[in-house]
Chains A and B, each alone.
Chain A
Amino acid sequence: MQVKVLFFGVAKDISKVNSRELEIKKDSSVFELLHLLKEKYSGFAAINDFSIAVNEEYAENDVILKESDIVAIIPPVSGG
């Protein structure tokens, strides 16, 4: 199945794109997606722990993804 991945902040600099479609196994978890992304983009290892949002809500590692979910890579935030 496919999900859409959004990259922000330093994650965008590493991926060099705003977003991309990613093919993952059915019933993959957030953790599995992260593993896949770290394989594709070695630069992610150098970032402080980043968070994940699924469909605009923060999601823990054990959340199971669905077809067409929008997954955002959220590096440490620095607003304000």
Chain B
Amino acid sequence: MEENISIQISSEKLNLHLCYDFVQDATCGGIALFVGTVRNNTKDKSVNRLDFSTYKTMAIKEIRKIALTALEKYNIKKIAIHHAEGALQIGDVPVIIAVSSAHRQASFDACQYAIDTLKETVPIWKKEYFDDGDVWVNAHP
């Protein structure tokens, strides 16, 4: 199954075409892509930039679990999950998920499963910077 999985955590700009090319397959009738982008506001407050820090070795393991589960649970061919680390500006891309399958519904479902689970389990943390300070997202009650 490993040959059907592409995982990356990178401080370089994420490459959409790399993800697309990885999952592209002659047996597939469709590819679903999810591209996360850095929003310029949160809770009506203007965000200047973000910083992502990771527990990289564990994050890669947790992303691999998501990819393996997606391959088992949905009828998909390939999956790519790439995540950025370090400083990101407004409009930059922190995450890309690409999934291919013979029929479209499996790709949509697997893509949604992957991003929802990533946000719950993968040890990556986002810090938002405002004009008047910074905050770790979700950290405080």
Contacts and interface: CB of A to CB of B under 8 A. Distances in A.
B95 interface: yes
Interface string B106-141: 000000000100111111111100000000111111
Contact of A46 (B119, B137, B140): B140
B125 A53 contact: no
Given A80-B115, A80-B118, A48 B138 contact: yes
A77 B136 contact: no
Contact of B83 (A13, A57, A58, A79): A79
B53 interface: yes
Contacts of B94: 79-80
B125 A8 contact: yes
Interface residues on B, range: 20 to 34
A34 to B, nearest CB: 17
B123 A72 contact: yes
Contacts, number: 82
Contacts of A48: 138-141
A47 B140 contact: yes
A48 B122 CA distance: 17
Interface stretch (B13-21, B25-33, B54-62, B71-79): B54-62
A56 B62 CA distance: 9
Contacts of A72: 55, 58, 123
B122 to A, nearest CB: 5
Interface of A: 6, 8-10, 12-13, 46-48, 53, 56-58, 72, 74-80
